[in-house]
Structures are given as structure tokens and as C-alpha cells.
A and B are shown apart, each in its own frame.
Chain A
Amino acid sequence: MNPEELVLSNLKRVMDPELNINVVDLGLIYDIDFPDDGKAVITMTLTTPGCPLHDSIVSGVKYCIEDLNQFSDVEVNLVWEPAWTPARMTPEANQLLRG
């Protein structure tokens, strides 16, 4: 498993508690970068800019990557552009929401 896959796999532990779907399947993770040795930079968004769970989800993502014990420095960048769209969800997540 390469580092990106490892990070993505671990991030599936972070659930959006309102939708009960993890952040990876929701398509919230935009980019995973490893600029230097030991550093991981995650660029992510949320389904809506005014999400009351924004601090919780961001800190959950940070914790999950730190928990891998492979990175000495973890940075999470929350961005609003490009805005999240339902097209970013996996078919499974889409199915769950559309019922």
C-alpha cells in the first residue's frame, strides 16, 4: 500500500455524523501531498461551508493521519473552492443518500 492509499484507507474512519458516511466516500478529500520527508498535507472540503461540524471533522482527519505514526508533521487545509458537489461521492455514498 503506497502512502496515499494508506492515508485514504485510514481516513475512512472519519464519519460525517449527520450523513453517517465517511469523508473519503463523500469525496471531501481533495488532495494528499507529501512535500517533505515526514510531512503530510491534506486538502479537503466539507459538504457545506457553514457546517457546524467543521472543527470536529477537521480534527478527526488530522488525528487519523497522526495515528499512522508515519508523519512527524500533519497539516489539514480546509478549502471551499472548488466547492464540493454530489458528483464527488462514490456510487455507494450516492446510493445511501438517494435511498
Chain B
Amino acid sequence: MIPLLANTKNETNIKLPFSFILFSLICLIGSMALILFQGDSIINSQFRVPAIWSAAHLFILGWALMTAMGAMYQLIPVAFLTPIWNERFGFIQFTVTAFGILYFAHSLFHNPESALLPGLITLTGILMFLLQMFMTLRQQAKPNVLTLFVGTALISLLTAILMGIIMVYSMKTGFISDYYQAVFKSHILLGTAGWFTLLIFGFSYKMVPMFSLSHGYSMKPAKYVFTVYAAGLAAAVISFFTEISSLLTIALMILAGGFAFFAWHMLQILQKRVKKKLDYSFRFALLAIPAGLAIHLGAFICSLTGSFESTVGYLAFAYLLLWVALSILGYLFKIVPFLWWTWKYSNEIGKKSVPSLKDMMNDKAAIPVLSAFILGILSVTVSIAYKHLVLFLSGQILTAGASIVFCYLIISVLKK
């Protein structure tokens, strides 16, 4: 029998992940409200306007990135059996990043040319996070394939952020303006498919078996999933800089292949599950997988038929919302009760009767809330394709409403 090394205490101070998650909820509502008032620009596929830059960064950095950071502060210690390197540093990192993101979103909205300084503050916060994770991961006794997913996701995040800063600098000075488009496309690709997708892949390998109680499956396909998807990312970045459109089509095919391989592997894992009735919120997180696969395949088909340039806007929108956001929302329904339960009842277990995790959150509420979220996103996506303002407004109101109810449900856990 192999004992756990020194039975180390691996739980992070709950205030740290919660600081990130609660801050992210404010950004989620803020970004949804901003998007609601940009209907005319969005349905005309004019995404590169200050208010949409601001909303997109508030959503991606303020909500999705901050949530991912908070979740990582909680999940890395337990998933990798390695305590966080420096918790105090984590709180400082939170303050710097939160301030930077709010200042950055504000600058993008009012005066994009002055976004360099807040961009640098945000970058500092993210670099601090990367340092924290690097120092934590290097303490891991035995790196595994999950380390590869999470490590590469972190490298993609760093690269995406550096490219974002180069773009702001380029706008101001004209520096490498010939490559602006390539840098912009790489920034989007690495910030979404590189960072979020690889991170969700990595944590899915931990959370899917845990929440479904799957055992006896093979983890061998995971390294092939990683290899194929990472090769697709590299090929896509090369295609942006070389402007070889056939290479982009091949890259999109490889990415879709990697995603399909991941979906197949998840199915194999779920077929080995003991828990037959899965929680509703978890089912929504799983539903994000076929959604992500469909969008990947859609991107490849559009590239093959020559319509990629005209469809990339809503493909990216649907990818961020139906794959990245739906995964995060579904998992947050599980992660937040875990966090709060640990904070409140961890020391009571065995001493007295404690609530189960099911008692901490109304799991059935996931059905109307996340269904409304999906319906809203689909409406908005279709509204962009058909340039239909009323459909956009009704879809975005539905999405924003679902986001507000979601935030309420998350905050209501804190009363349990």
C-alpha cells in the first residue's frame, strides 16, 4: 500500500477561491448587460467596437478567467495532491487582477488607446497567477497527463495575454502592424481553444470520473487527445502568420479531430460509471461537450466551403458561450457547494449530522436556468446569422436573465 505523502493538508483557504468566484459573478452580469445594448453592432457582425471589446474582456477575463483561477486555486491542490505555493500571494494576485480587469474594461469602453496601462496591470495579475501555478505544479510529486493539459493551458494563456498587450501597443505605435491580424487571430485562438479548452479537458479528466464515480477506464487516450489538439493549435497559429488558407482548414480539421477524440474518451469513461443517475447540473456540463464538438466541426466545414471568414464571429461567440461558459456554469453548480460545505461543515463531519452536498444547492434549478441560457445563446447566434435585432434582444434578455438567476443561486449557497 502506498500512503499519501505525509497526509498533507491540501485544502486552500476558502476565502481565496470564493474571492475570485464572487468577483466573477459581478463581471458576468456586467458583460451581459453591456452586450444587451450592442444589438445593432452585433447583428451586423461589427464586433470590433469599444463597447464590445469591453464586454468581451469583462466576460472572458472578468468572468471566465477569474472563475477558472478561483476553481484552480481549489482544484489544483486536491487534483494534484499538492498544496498551493503561497496563499498570501494568491490574495495579492486577486486584488491586482481584479483591479486590472475592471480598469481595463473601463478603458476599452471609454478610450481604447489608453488601455495599455490597465492591460499591463491585468497582465501583472495574470503573470502572478502563472507564477503561483508554476511554483505549485513544480512541487507535484509525480506529474501526469493532467499536468500536461493544465501546463499547456497556462502557457497558452500567457501567450494569449502577451499577444493582447502587443496588439494594444501596436494600435498605439504601429509596431509590427503588418502582423496585427495574425497576432489578433492567435490571441483569440490561444485565449479560447488553447487556454480554456485545454483547461476544461484537463479538469474534465478529474471531475467527470469523480462526479459519475467511474472506475476501470483507460487513461491512455488522454495523451493522444492532447497531442492531436495541441498539434491543431500549432498548425492554426502557423497558418495565421503564413496566411496559407489551406493550412488553416487542415488545422481546423485536426482541432475538430482532437475534440472528437476527447468526446469519445469522455463517453468511454461515462460508460464505466457506477452512479447511474447523474446530477442535472453535471449533465449540462457534459452537454457542453457535444456543443463544442459541433462548433469545431462547423468551423472546419465552413473553412472547407470558403465561408469561414463570414461565420467565424458567431462560431466564436457560440464556442465561448456553449462550450466554455456552459462547462463552467455546469461545474460551478457542483464546485461552489463543495467549497461552502468544506468551509462550514468540514470540521463537523462524524461529530454530528451534516447536510449532504445535494442539500446545499437546488440541483433541479439547473434545468430551467441552463436551458434558458442555452436557448438565449442559440437565439443570439441565429440573430447574428440572420441580422435580426428582435431575436437578438429576446435571446440576450434570456441569457442575461439566466445569468442573474444563476448568480442568485450561487450566492444562495452561502446561506446554507
On A, residues with C-beta under 8 Å from B are: 13-15, 17-20, 30, 43, 47-61, 63-64, 67, 76-86, 89, 94, 97-99
Contact B350 A48 (CB under 8 A): no
Contact A17 B357 (CB under 8 A): yes
Residues of A within 8 A of B354 (CB): 15, 17
Residues of B within 8 A of A56 (CB): 342, 345-347, 349
Count B-side interface residues using an 8 Å CB cutoff. Answer: 39
- Bound CA–CA A51/B275 (angstroms): 16
Contact A78 B349 (CB under 8 A): no
| Total CB contacts across the A-B interface at under 8 A | 107
Residues of A within 8 A of B215 (CB): 83-86
Contact B2 A79 (CB under 8 A): yes
Contact B350 A54 (CB under 8 A): no
Q: Which of A20, A50, A99 contacts B210 (CB 8 A)?
A: A50
Contacting A at CB under 8 A, from B332-379, are: 338, 341-342, 345-347, 349-351, 354-358
Given the known interface contacts A79-B1, A81-B1, A86-B274, the answer about A55 and B213 at a Cβ–Cβ threshold of 8 Å is no
Contact A63 B1 (CB under 8 A): no
Residue of B nearest to A86 (CB): B274
Answer whether residue B74 sits at the interface, using C-beta atoms and an 8 A cutoff. Answer: yes
Q: For the complex formed, measure the closest distance between the CB of A46 and the CB atoms of chain B, giving whole angstroms.
A: 10
Q: Which of A20, A80, A98 contacts B274 (CB 8 A)?
A: A98
Given the known interface contacts A30-B1, A50-B206, A77-B3, the answer about A15 and B213 at a Cβ–Cβ threshold of 8 Å is no
Contact B11 A78 (CB under 8 A): no
27 A-B pairs, CB-CB below 8 angstroms? A15-B354, A19-B213, A20-B356, A20-B358, A43-B1, A48-B213, A50-B81, A51-B78, A52-B74, A52-B78, A55-B9, A56-B342, A56-B347, A58-B7, A60-B351, A61-B350, A63-B349, A64-B350, A67-B350, A67-B351, A78-B3, A78-B7, A80-B4, A85-B215, A98-B275, A98-B276, A99-B277
Q: For the complex formed, measure the closest distance between the CB of A26 and the CB atoms of chain B, giving whole angstroms.
A: 10
CB-CB contacts of B104-131 with A at 8 A, as 1s and 0s?
A: 0000000000000000000000000000
Contact B275 A48 (CB under 8 A): no
Contact B349 A97 (CB under 8 A): no
Answer whether residue B10 sits at the interface, using C-beta atoms and an 8 A cutoff. Answer: yes
Contact B2 A81 (CB under 8 A): yes
A-B complex: 8 closest residue pairs judged by Cβ atoms: A60-B350, A60-B349, A50-B79, A56-B346, A79-B1, A64-B350, A20-B356, A52-B78
